[in-house]
Homo-oligomer: A and B are copies of this chain.
Amino acid sequence: MQFQLTDELIENVEILVENNNDKELVKLLNEFHYADIAEILDELDLDDSIYVIKLLDSETTSDILTELDEDTREKVLKNLSAKEIAEEVEELDTDDAADIIAELPEERQEEVISKIEDEEHREEITELLKYQDDTAGGLMAKELVKVYETWTVAGCLRRIRGQAKEVTRVHSIYVVNKEEKLIGRLSLKDLIVAKNDQKIADIAKDNVDFVNVIDDVEDVAKVMAKYDLEAIPVVDDSQTLLGRITIDDIVDVLKEEAEKDYQLAAGITQDVDSDDSIIELTRARLPWLFLGLIGGVGAFVIMEGFQEAFNQYAVLFFFTPLIAAMAGNVGVQSSAIIVQGLANDDIKGSINRRLLKEMSLATLNGIILAAFLFLFVWIYIGEIDKAIAISTSLVAVIIIAGLIGTFVPLFLDKRGIDPAIATGPFITTSNDILGILLYFWIAKLILGI
């Protein structure tokens, strides 16, 4: 059953396009889900993609448009007239329609909007475009099923038949009072199992979850995941019902969040994927590498500074990659645990307690690792004073690295900065330098140089 994007299939489509064999092409593509057709178009040349888009009916192509890669979509939209885009947008739910229009250059946005024939749709999209991308308003759709508390079940069912035709999936029926304020909810099931002459007010559940239109999408995702909600209504400050967010949009938010955090931890800024151009990938990766370079130059300067003091102890320099690696690894581990805890709202209690815990943890790990290093140095080099100096420094370096890895993301979070930035290269680089500095300083102290 699973769709497979094969080279053969793409070739097949290309040949049909080349031969203008519209009938066969439509027949072939109609077998696939629009998300699959989008995957095919992402692989085709732009001209071929546009040929297919213009060939299929707008009910399908509008859905395909929402599923295309952003780059492909941008190129396709450039090749469609404002009127054509407006026709696609007419077929879409308001949230998807607004997302597509928002990607257009500003002057085109107005042109496309003015060409949308359905007045209500036009107004709703215009409203949605006002909200920030990363807020509940930016994610919500205007399509929902709304009933008034004063209606009866029978009357409600009758009117819902009208509203529901426009709503792809009815998750919840929202109950409002005559001022349009959200006061409860109902499921279709509740309605079906209720008696025809019951009042909506009597069967509605009044403990309805909702979010404010300016709430952050990450918070919306948290609420929906925590309470296992499949849709949540969106209201303004006066509790007026404005729209609703469905779980499929939240799944996308969660995936994007996870990818962003993962990339930040790996030292990649900007949302890139493996198929992006070399220039885009360089722009996302070079800044962090440059940070690493600066850190390496810092390490060089520190080591050079200790050169004379350690003239007789050249062997100590050979452990700097080890020290740097351990400081980096411990720092990344600690910061990752904290970043994830912050994302899940798991971080309770004071910063001091956290730091104390990380210190105990780092001490335990440090002592175990230092014991091995001590044995190695002692057996391999045969000088116990050096073995003591190196392994003691390692414990200190690991403790400090753990504390920095814990403190920095907590600090950033308190200041309202995304703590995910603190993982990866940032922590690694600062811990590298600090670790090496600490290492030589402690070794110097112990060896009495």
Binding site for B on A (CB under 8 A): 1-2, 5, 33, 35, 43, 157, 160-161, 164-165, 167, 169-170, 187-189, 192-193, 209-210, 219, 223-228, 230, 247-248, 250-252, 254-255, 257-259, 261-263, 265-268, 272-275, 278, 281-282, 285-286, 288-290, 292-293, 295-297, 299-300, 303-304, 307, 314-315, 317-326, 328-330, 332-333, 335-338, 340-341, 344, 346-348, 354, 357, 360-361, 364-365, 368-369, 372-373, 376, 398, 423-425, 428-429, 432, 436
Contact = CB atoms under 8 A, between A and B. Distances in A.
A266 B376 contact: no
Contact of A369 (B250, B266, B293): B293
Contact of A273 (B225, B258, B341): B341
A296 B273 contact: no
Contacts of A169: 187, 189, 230
Contacts of A165: 193
Contact of A321 (B315, B337, B436): B436
B318 A321 contact: no
Number of copies: 2
20 contacts: A164-B192, A167-B189, A170-B188, A188-B188, A188-B192, A225-B255, A257-B258, A265-B336, A278-B361, A282-B361, A282-B365, A290-B372, A293-B373, A300-B321, A300-B322, A303-B318, A307-B318, A314-B314, A317-B317, A321-B324
Given A223-B2, A263-B340, A318 B318 contact: no
Contacts of A303: 317-318, 321
Contact of A248 (B230, B290, B295, B300): B230
